Amino acid sequence: MDRRQALKGMAGLAASIAAVPGAWAQGRVGGDGRAPNIIYIMADDLGYGDLGCYGQEILTTPNIDRLAHEGIRFTDCYAASTVCAPSRCGLMTGLHMGHARVRGNGGVPLEPEDVTVAEVLRDAGYRTGIFGKWGLGREGSSGVPNLQGFDEWFGYLHQGRAHNYYPDYVWENQERYPLPGNRGGRRETYTHDLFTERGLDFVTRHARDPFFLYMAYTVPHANNELGRETGDGMEVPAYGRYADRDWPNPQKGHAAMIDRLDRDVGRLLRRLEALGIDDETVILFTSDNGPHREGGADPDFFDSNGPLRGIKRDLHEGGIRVPMIVRWPQGGPAGVVSDHPWAFWDFLPTAAELAGTSGPSGIDGLSMAGALTGGTAPHHDYLYWEFHEGGFHQAVRMGDIKAVRRRNREAPIEIYRLDRDLGEEHDVSSELPSAVDRAEKLFSEARVDSAEFPVRERPT
């Protein structure tokens, strides 16, 4: 029996139990005994320092800051990777980059035997929907969202097409959805706005069912191709409140994208309140990796990585440490700041516990439901990453110790004390040889080889 068959058996049992009044009491439920709705909002290339609640002093994000004021702001949460597709794979499957199917951008699809969080929740009685950017399967592959646990899907299949905010089509389930307003040189339909409307509609239609909504937004990612042509790939319909600022246009676009994102988080909150389901809905807000330097954007302009070193495509903290805010009025505390370390691969078992069901065995994630509800949660022995662009890069966090090795497996291992040196400015490998030894061991033991992502090393 493979992992998927075993999961479906467990989930079927959970669904049967859930039919009994009060059965959800074994899970993390609200006061009415119903499993909570789960909304996961993922921005694209939003930096750790791009939000007011994480120290941003120029841009304003009142609705996202409200999530933090009314929930938990995590300071030590990590993306699964430092670029798009693998980060989303870790989120969906509960596996870190040493074991994940997708370890880089390039079009590798999820396979039928891969078990996603959407499957776990759907089999537990949830309605499941994704609107935005998928990145885990091309047309006709086994990786399309409808074959990976999602009842409803609308958006970009491959991350490369998601660079264009005015495409001539997106996908609606397994059919192309034409956008005639974006043909013939016209730019009338901005996809971010479509995704918001679809998400609001999904919430409205399923207000009386437990639901899992994955809002995989593309802002503030750049249109890389447009940026190479014009120098400005921060594609947005209008600069809004930032139009009159004496800034370069790409920075106005970056700011306006975040403003649009914040606006739509507010719209979602108001819709939940109007439907009377705000209290019983868990919202998680994050970004898929660190800030970018693409399409004319300059992460230094707004200090987008805050106190962290590095940006997108780095395995230093600025490339992988991301905002994570969790708000659940009925089940979690308000106004709390937590430094509990966790990562995207923990989401699958966490969502399963919140829903009162079980996830697959053999994954890397641990349930953080306790941390989300103001209690205790387990600590990982280590958190592991690898990255395959420009050589073979690895990183591991072991408590407060961070190890990084760049380009090849013969390169020196850098060691940082995150509790004393959050900006990773001082390599203390010479002072902590035991940490070097442990990192060397984990760099080997925490991974298995991947045929799709072979190790290709470059000289240091």
Q: Based on the domain organization, do 402 and 277 belong to the same domain?
A: no
Asked if 212 and 115 sit in the same domain, the reply is yes
Q: Does residue 259 fall inside a structural domain? A: yes
What is the rounded CA–CA span in Å between residue 356 and residue 204? 23
Is 460 part of any domain? Answer: no
Boundary residue ending a domain (363, 380, 397)? 380
Q: Report yes or no: 269 and 66 within 8 Å, Cβ to Cβ.
A: yes
Please say whether the beta carbons of 158 and 131 come within 8 A.
no
> Do 293 and 420 belong together in one domain?
no
Number of domains in the chain: 2
Our CA angle for 334, 336, 338, nearest 5°, is 145
> What pLDDT is recorded for position 202?
98
State whether 346 and 281 are in the same domain: yes
Residues 165, 76 within the same domain: yes
Same domain for 408 and 352: no
Residues 373 and 391 in one domain: no
What pLDDT shows up at residue 372? 95
What pairs with residue 281 in β-bridges?
A: 37
Domain assignment of residue 283, yes or no: yes
Full domain range(s) for residue 404:
385-445
What's the confidence (pLDDT) of residue 106?
87
Q: Which residues pair with 169 in a beta bridge?
A: 178
- 360 and 440 inside one domain: no
Tens-digit pLDDT profile for the chain (460 aa)? Answer: 343 444 433 333 333 333 322 223 334 454 456 899 999 999 999 999 999 999 999 999 999 999 999 999 999 999 999 999 999 999 999 999 999 999 999 889 999 999 999 999 999 999 999 999 999 999 999 999 999 999 999 999 999 999 999 999 999 999 999 999 999 999 999 999 999 999 999 999 999 999 999 999 999 999 999 999 999 999 999 999 999 999 999 999 999 999 999 999 999 999 999 999 999 999 999 999 999 999 999 999 999 999 999 999 999 999 999 999 999 999 999 999 999 999 999 999 999 999 999 999 999 999 999 999 989 999 999 999 999 999 999 999 999 999 999 999 999 999 999 999 999 999 999 999 999 999 999 999 999 999 999 999 999 8
Q: Same domain for 350 and 432? A: no
Which candidate, 294, 308, 281, 280, places its Cα nearest to that of 402?
308
Using DSSP, state whether 371 is helix, strand or coil.
helix
Whole-number Å distance between alpha carbons of 197 and 11: 31
Instruction: State which of 380, 412, 434 marks the end of a domain.
Output: 380
Tell me, rounded to whole angstroms, the distance of Cα 114 from its chain centroid.
18
Identify whether 398 is part of a domain: yes
Residue 31's pLDDT is what?
A: 46
Q: Is 183 a domain residue?
A: yes
Among the candidates 380, 397, 419, a domain finishes at 380
Q: Which two tokens stand for residue 280?
A: 């019983």
CATH number of 420's domain: 3.30.1120.10
Task: Give CA–CA dist 285/326, Å, rounded.
Answer: 7
Identify the pLDDT of residue 32: 58
Are 313 and 390 found together in one domain?
Answer: no
**Distance (Å, whole) CA 311 – CA 283:** 26
The pLDDT value given to residue 460: 81
Let me know whether 305 and 224 are in one domain. Answer: yes
User: 385 and 392 in contact (C-beta within 8 Å)?
Assistant: no
* CATH code for the domain of 71: 3.40.720.10
- Same domain membership, residue 70 and residue 182: yes
Taking residue 259's Cβ as centre, other Cβ atoms within 10 Å add up to 21
**Is residue 153 in some structural domain?**
yes
